[in-house]
Amino acid sequence: MSHPLKKENASTLENAMQLMIQTFHQYSGNEGDKYTLSRAELKELLTTELGNYLGNAQDKEAVDKVMNDLDSNNDGEVDFTEFVILVGALTVACNDFFLEFNEKGEKK
Amino acid sequence: MSHPLKKENASTLENAMQLMIQTFHQYSGNEGDKYTLSRAELKELLTTELGNYLGNAQDKEAVDKVMNDLDSNNDGEVDFTEFVILVGALTVACNDFFLEFNEKGEKK
């Protein structure tokens, strides 16, 4: 039986979803509950996987807010749903930056 | 000046975020507001990009619920934030299916 998430003809969006699942489990399995991120695992994931975006983000306040929300709501563990909410919020921030960048380019 | 979202050394997670942004704009630009999905654009995106997952999803009720919520809240246009919420909910459903599949495999 083939793995249900390893499609040979996966679409671009299905690839994106698979990459999110793959990334989470790559870090969540290191210590403690293998299906949640400890604070240490979360920090490693953010530093390794989001260094470019968190370093470059124009809307730093939005990123800080997401991080604070994530901290106050969890009990030291971040589950997959919380991780997806974080990635989603960052992706929306990146998209806003992308649109602003494009608009500036069009005006020149 | 290089494009801010085209990193040469993008991480796995940054690639996933870029693929979500890329997919949305690939369909949103076809008609009307180029930064939102019309009903026709949304239908094309779902059929083309999520055929494998929507066809295979075990938790069909969850998928139906997401679709209905998306329909009732919008005015015929889906913006990027609503799109990310949809993709996030589907990714969580896929992750649950993935964990269930793994647990069954371990018990055998």
Chain B residues whose beta carbon lies within 8 Å of the beta carbon of residue A48:
11
Counted domains in chain B: 1
Residue B9 included in any domain:
no
Please give the ipTM for the structure prediction.
Answer: 0.78
Confidence check: pLDDT of A76 > 80: no
CATH, residue A61: 1.10.238.10
Range of lowest pLDDT (A2-16, A33-47, A68-82, B62-76): B62-76
Contacts 24+ apart (CB under 8 A), B61-68: B62/B89, B62/B93, B63/B90, B63/B93, B66/B90
Of A3, A21, A99, the CB nearest to B95: A21
Answer yes or no: do A19 and B22 touch at CB < 8 A.
Answer: no
Predicted local confidence at residue A99, as pLDDT? 87
Which one of A45, A97, A99 has the shortest CB-CB distance to B35?
Answer: A99
Residue B91 included in any domain: yes
Does A6 reside within a domain? no
How many contacts, defined by CB atoms under 8 Å, are there between A and B? Answer: 121
Identify the band that residue A67 occupies on the pLDDT scale cut at 50, 70 and 90: low
Q: Would A21 be classed as within a structural domain?
A: no
Q: Using one digit for the tens of pLDDT, what is the confidence trace for A30-58?
A: 998 899 888 778 878 887 898 776 664 44
Q: pTM higher than 0.95, yes or no? A: no
- Those residues of chain B that have pLDDT short of 50 are 1-2, 56-58
Task: Note whether A16 contacts B: Cβ–Cβ < 8 A.
Answer: yes
CA–CA distance, B43 with B39 (Å, rounded to integer)? 6
The domain in which residue B87 lies consists of 34-105
